[in-house]
Chain A
Amino acid sequence: MAKLPFTNDIRTLRFLAGEMTQGDLGDRVGVTRQTIAAIEQGKYSPSLEVAFRIALVFGKPLEAVFQWETGSD
């Protein structure tokens, strides 16, 4: 599987949001805990809608949650 060209800070943001669990975040976003885990580990590229929903849960702009890796195409 090709490595995704972006990273994310979901794990840190969950910790800062009162140690929110992957399951809690998944419930609020409308996806399963496994999907949050896959996104967090960079194994799954979420849709734009889910990415925005995740950012909304943390009250952050999208680029504060997902960062394009410098040097990626």
Chain B
Amino acid sequence: MTFREKIHWVAFVTMLLAFGWYFLAFPWSIAASPSALWTAGGMLIPLTLGIIVAMTVATVILAIRNRKEVHLAEDERDRAIHWRGTHLAYYPMVVGTWACIGLIFTGAAPAILLNLLLAMVVGSELLRIGSQIWLYRRH
């Protein structure tokens, strides 16, 4: 497995675990209350810091263990894979955006909107990274 693939796996697993925990641990019973927004904020700040630390540490370790590949420039295959992954991720982003617009008109609570936006971004990112991992294996 190449350095690029390993980095993709690290990002995929980190996001899956971190946001999997967030969506499971979020107190959905109070999601409609004003305080839920601050609860979400309180959970997201350490979560974001944790993701940054975990990915930085993992990247440094992988870079030390794969020194030859660290400075390899992207070639046309890498760019094609990245483009296809990003293209696929565009669709859930659009669907999520329209869902948020629809929810705004129903007077949804801010925490609900926040979580929907978050789910949209996380889902898109997981699809992008996951599809790129799959394409690296297939192409």
Q: Which residues of A contact B (CB under 8 A)?
A: 1, 30-32, 34-35, 38, 43-44, 46-47, 50
How many residue-residue contacts, CB under 8 A, span A and B? 26
Apart from A30-B75, A32-B77, 19 more pairs, CB < 8 Å: A1-B138, A31-B75, A31-B76, A31-B77, A32-B2, A32-B75, A32-B78, A34-B77, A35-B75, A35-B77, A35-B78, A38-B77, A38-B139, A43-B138, A43-B139, A44-B77, A44-B139, A47-B76, A50-B76
Number of chain B residues close to chain A: CB under 8 A = 8
B72 proximal to A (CB < 8 A)? yes
Judged by DSSP, the binding face of A is loop
CA distance A18 to B4 in the complex (A): 30
| Nearest-Cβ distance from residue A53 to partner chain B, whole angstroms | 11
Q: Which of B98-139 contact A (CB under 8 A)?
A: 138-139
Interface centre among B2, B138, B139 (most CB of A within 10 A): B139
Closest to B135 in A: A1
